[in-house]
Structure 1
Amino acid sequence: MYRYTGIVRDAPTVLSYAVLGSFTFWLYAFGPAVTLLRDELGFSYTLLGFHSVLWSLGSAAAGAGFALAARHLPRTVLLWGSAAINTVAAAMFTLGRGVPVTLSAAVLFGVGGAALVAVTQAILSDRHGSRRDQALTEANIGAGASAVFAPLILGALAAGALGWRVAFALPAVCLLALYLRFRGVALPPAAQRHDSGEAGRLPLACWLFAVLTAMSAAIEFCLLYFGPQMLLTTGLSATAASTALSANYLGILIGRTLGAAVTRRPGRSIPLLYASLALTGGAFLLFWLADHPVPAIVGLFLCGAGVANLYPLAVGLTLDAAPGQGDTANARSQVVLGLATAASPYLLGTLADRYGLSAAFVLEPVMIALSAGLLWTGLRTRRPNPVEPAR
């Protein structure tokens, strides 16, 4: 293990980083893979979108049950059990035949993915305490790298002799290697409550920050699902528009790398959140109003850089607002996030069918403004946390 500027990157920390990065490969490969699957099976656009909805609903279901599971199961079981669920989902999605199997796989991905994200976030939060913001931001650098490389690897394999399905085996191989290397590592237990409040009852600030976490994901998901369609209006071909989406992924990776550097010093997370919201809003306007490809792609890149740190920092605030209730806060946050990521793209698509895509994208600045309001209100309603023991 090694130490610098604030946190110790020990075995549980490195394991959490690697597991989250492995899962995120599946998350960002899933959308392009469903498109390839549609070409093979010939199902409708409605069924294509329904895969994403079921994934999100599976996430919400896992969030609803995670707190109960965390009270009865050790974190090693939760971590490796959720990894196994995702591996089974990947096998069903790639080896199964027929839409019912792939839809079932989407549900399992949602369940296993939300549980895995929740337990890794809880491990990092309890391990690093008041420095959880830096740990969570660093963990999402690996996720950002997966976002960049997953579609590229999927596309390269799809064009070759092996086929795109091989890409879904890569995270499973990584998780198996991690299990063999880290299976004996002791993970930090859930923190105990410091206050005398009612068990399971989360503070208002925690709920506000949980909704902020969901809004940050919804902002990103809407842009990822419908951004390429907006690029078509600038004169790009469908292939070029899909490729240009990698600019957003690159922005996310760079933004999270810079965010990890910024949060190495305490007290910088809140200014970074406000700056990220401002950058996201300004960059989205550039993307939204552009009528030529170059400014639109620049706007897409800057949107990625802006939205990059919203999710990990909002998660940190959510957990920080509920000391001793990390598992419950994680679970409730995953429920809200699952519902938001299921509803927001569907709402944007519905608005686009009725009023046009450009008009429907007004949903994005609305969510950005709502996020700023949630952050401002949450900061003013949270209770001061007790001083944490030195680590």
Structure 2
Amino acid sequence: MYRYTAKADFVRDAPTVLSYAALAAYTFWLYAFGPAVTLLRDELGFSYTLVGFYSVLWSVGAALAGAGFAWVAGRLARRALLWCSALVTVAGAGLFTLGTGVPATLLAAGLMGLAGTTMLAVLQAILSDRHGSQRDRALTEANIGAGASAVVAPLVLGALAAAVVGWRAAFALPAIVLAVLYVRFRRQPLPAPPARHVVAGAGGLPAACWLFIVLTACSVAIEFCIVYFGPQLLLGTGLSAAAAGTALGANYLGILIGRLLGARITRRPGRSVALLYASLAITGAGFALFWLAGRPAPAILGLFVCGAGIANLYPLAIALTLDAADGREDRANARSQLVIGLVSAASPYVIGTLADRYGLAVGFALEPVLIGACALLLWTGLRATAASTSST
């Protein structure tokens, strides 16, 4: 294994390419999962409550992965952890598609959440170890593939569902990609954690790091609430259920374009904070248009603009989290996935509860609260970072 050394040039070497491709494969499963559960419900006839339970189990698995990642990462090499988590995720996808009933597919949802999030965390760790202070650029570029998967996965799933092979074949595609990556990169040395992990890894995380962890979780919650309930709000504009589900693709397209632009902007250092503030402003403007439009065309435009703003929130927030970890990047990475798992399970539930009592438009008032909270957390976290730097 080689250790990271600071470089002026940004190099997309073998570990970087591997991380980009594996992240795209994992994200394909993530964005295909929701539509697949809908198709599974049509086959097995279970309740809407059970539909939500599939997502809850995925989120619980993700939270467990976050709780245990730092411990596991301290005992396994990056390469072993990556390929083991990839193998278990493939097994979970196989169980989900080949399982014949609710218990097996529920177990598969939890397994994919657990192993898939572990794979996500180790990929982020590899990029962080490899690129150091340029991790914001690496994470932003890595999420371009994730954005492409978000656009492509539902389309591929729908196309195969209408074909003879059926929707389950879509879940084999990421497994094939990971198998090819394993054959190509299985002997590839991966960056080891910087030596300071050994010295500083036993302590707690700085306050700024915790603020950025919550920022990361809130940014994910903004996206998840749109994904879960956006099509339901579109029904109020006069769209059919099928058209509303298809229109959500505008949000995914906005995410992809936003990440392409974000990758270009972050080529120069020092732009991440300004991009984060701009992304929050764009997200707020797009969501307001979507929320208040009342007609299909402006609502769909709002979804697209909102997606363009959401695009760079997660990669830049997780980069700030790792930057502020003070040599405890694995622990910060783990805690961020834990909090994300908890918030991902809770935020759609809060919107659903508010919607049942007061209507969906009122329930969506949670979104501006989350956007405002992100801005406050970013400002507070930056001040805490500056205070910590000045004191040392």
- Give TM-score, length-normalised by structure 1: 0.96
Matched residues in 2 for 1:200 and 1:326: separation? 12
Determine if contact 1:191/1:325 at 8 Å carries over to the other structure: no
Q: Which residue of 2 aligns with 1:82?
A: 85
Deviation at 1:196, TM superposition (A): 6.8
Partner of 1:342: 345
The match for 2:240 is 237
Find 1:362's aligned residue among 351, 365, 383. Answer: 365
Deviations 1:15-72 (A, max 9, x none): 0000000000000000000000000000000000110011001000011000000111
Q: Distance in 2 between matches of 1:192 and 1:216?
A: 31
* Equivalence for 1:291: 294
CA apart distance, 1:323: 3.0
Alpha-carbon distance change, 98 to 271 in structure 1, aligned in 2, over 3 angstroms: same
1:292 and 1:370 mapped to 2: Cα distance? Answer: 28
Q: CA deviation at 1:198?
A: 7.3
| Aligned pairs for 1:304-323 within 5 A | 304-323=307-326
Q: Is the 8 A contact 1:126 1:188 kept in 2?
A: yes
| Alpha-carbon offset, residue 114 of structure 1 | 1.1
- Once the two structures are superposed, the pairs formed by residues 1-391 of structure 1 within 5 Å of their partners are 6-193=9-196, 199-382=202-385, 383-384=388-389
The question of whether the paired residues in 2 share the 8 Å contact of 1:192 and 1:325 is answered with: no
Whole-angstrom CA distance in 2 between matches of 1:195 and 1:161: 54
- Decide whether aligned partners of structure 1 residues 357 and 332 sit closer, same or farther in structure 2, where only a CA change above 3 A counts: same
CA contact (8 A) 1:20 1:143 kept: yes
Aligned length: 382
What is the rounded CA distance, in whole Å, between the counterparts of 1:355 and 1:21 in structure 2? 38
Give me the CA root mean square deviation: 1.4
Query: Any idea what SS the aligned residue of 1:202 has?
Result: coil
CA–CA distance in 2 between the matches of 1:381 and 1:357? 37
The Cα shift of 1:326 comes to 1.2
The more displaced of 376-385 and 142-151 is: 376-385
CA contact 2:197–2:328 (8 Å) conserved in 1 = no
Distance 1:242 1:18 in 2: 27
2:201/2:328 contact within 8 Å kept = no
CA contact (8 A) 2:234 2:299 kept: yes
Kept in 1, the 8 Å contact 2:251–2:307? The answer is yes
Query: Which TM-score applies when normalising by structure 2?
Result: 0.96
- Aligned 8 A contact 1:190 1:324 in 2: no
In 1, Cα distance between equivalents of 2:275 and 2:174: 31
Structure 1 gaps, min length 5: 386-391
Q: Percent identity?
A: 69
Distance 2:375 2:319 in 1: 16
Q: d(CA) in 1 for partners of 2:342 and 2:328? A: 22
Rounded to whole Å, the distance in 1 between the matches of 2:331 and 2:206 is 11
**Structure 1 runs (4+) greater than 6 angstroms displaced:** none
Gaps in structure 2 of 5+ consecutive residues: 1-6
Alpha-carbon distance in structure 2 between the residues aligned to 1:365 and 1:195? 41
Check whether the contact 2:200–2:326 (CA below 8 A) recurs between aligned residues: no
Q: Which amino acid in 1 is paired with 2:310?
A: V
